[in-house]
Amino acid sequence: MSTLTQSLKSGNWRALVACFLYFDTGFTVWVMLGPLAPFISKDIAMTPAQTGFLVAVPVLGAAILRVTLGNLYQAFDGRKIALMGITLSAIPSIVLLLMPSAPSYTLLLVLGVFLGVGGASFAVALPMAGSNYPPKVQGLVLGLAAAGNIGAVLDGFMFPGLAEHYGWTRAAGAALPLLGLAALALVFWAKDRGVKSGSAPRAFTSFFITVFGLVALVLCVHAGAFGEGKAGVLLLPVLGALLAIAVLPRHYRGVLGERDTWVIMLVYSITFGGFVGMSSYVTTLLISLYSMPRIEAGLFMSLLAFLGALVRPIGGMVADRISGVRALVILLAAISAIDFVFAAWMPPQGAGITLLVLIYLCFGLGNGATFQLVPQRWQGKTGLMSGIIGAAGGIGGFYLPVIMGIAKESTGSYQMGFATFGALAGLAFLLVVALRTRWMSWALPTEIAGGAVLAGSVAHVE
């Protein structure tokens, strides 16, 4: 405990708390359609695939917007960007509160993009928190800031109960006081000490082009403009990613030509994508598989999210000592194995819940381990890389509920969905193993004689 206290005192702990609250409330807003989906379906008729698409749109919105929001952070003050993000992510709650009746499915899809701005807070909260601390504690600090994904716990506790008593449109308004609290913390406590470069006006333009471009793409997919049925939905992340990349400054696109970037992106699409995608869909999954009552399913979703968020800083601390590379080799193998066990067995409720708990623990530890590597490999580009890698995580989170919904609708079972993600986790495991030796040269650059690792050797984060 004394080591933890000393680490927190080595920087600006108030700024860290502000970043945590910003990400925490952003995450709460981001995934709130997941626990509300069973209530929404009572007012709006949806197929399993449509339900999966609805809860996946905010996930995709955050994934794509993280790229241009990370680019904006490189050029402009993080505190002001965060306050703008809070304002935009409050729009859906305000609109739903003012609606005299249930909105249309189409309007919910549009609002889902703005909910995604809350999840995009990742690209600002992490580098802004890290900028207030020295290099040797970056794994811990980034893990604590990113533990804001504990906001998903509030979703499961708050929204189902409120929706049961007051209706789901009014329940959405419960996010507004939380966003207000985060805004106050940012105003009075947040500091951004990151080095800035590039054109702020151009970065703002790129961000808003991406926001409204995503709205247009989602509406086009819903209208069948890119193919009827599932084709357009599966194509949407690709089109969104191309949009975000197109508006980035040319010199920033160079990181996309690096093999390490793509491997880390795949890893994070498994760990964080699994966490957020399952958090968006697990309520529906539990009701479908085990006939769990809606409020009970929402509460269990909160428990899973709490476990995954709680261990994320632990993943960062472990990675500070043994390297994120070694940690990820173990965790990716475990995630793949759990997915395949689920696919092969489709276990009864007790065993299924046990497996879900285990996989959430792996997701959380893996998230912390992944971002221990980023400031070492990409010094001076942590804002941009947080956005790009975070985007990959969000895209993984988009595909999870979509593919689960498609699998259920097409085959009557979730087996193919679990098998698909088990195979992807297995591929990520093999790639990290193949690159392990080279990655260790920068993952733990300082070694003492005899080969023992010198803990805390994290490169400078700008």
Give yes or no for residue 451 having a pLDDT over 50: no
pLDDT for position 115? 97
Give yes or no for residue 368 having a pLDDT over 90: no
Give yes or no for residue 461 having a pLDDT over 50: no
For the chain, give every domain's residue range: 11-248, 254-443
pLDDT tens digits for 382-434? 767 877 887 898 899 999 999 999 999 999 999 999 999 999 999 999 999 99
Same fold, 11-248 and 254-443: yes
pLDDT tens digits for 169-188? 999 999 999 999 999 999 99
Residue 198 phi/psi, 5-degree rounding, is 90, 180
Give yes or no for residue 1 having a pLDDT over 90: no
Percent of the residues in the chain that have a pLDDT greater than 90, as a whole number:
63
- Fold classified for 11-248: Growth Hormone; Chain: A; (1.20.1250)
pLDDT confidence tier of residue 454, bands split at 50, 70 and 90: very low
pTM of the full structure: 0.80
What CATH class does 254-443 carry?
Answer: mainly alpha
pLDDT tens digits for 296-342? 999 999 999 999 988 988 998 888 888 899 999 999 999 999 999 99
- Find how far residue 92's CA is from the centre of its chain: 19
Region 23-34: mean pLDDT is 92
pLDDT for position 8? 78
pLDDT confidence tier of residue 144, bands split at 50, 70 and 90: confident
CA nearest to 280, candidates 89, 55, 116, 439: 55
Among 25-34, 203-212, 352-361, whose mean pLDDT is lowest?
A: 25-34
pLDDT for position 460? 29
Q: Residue 150 carries which DSSP code?
A: G
pLDDT confidence tier of residue 2, bands split at 50, 70 and 90: low
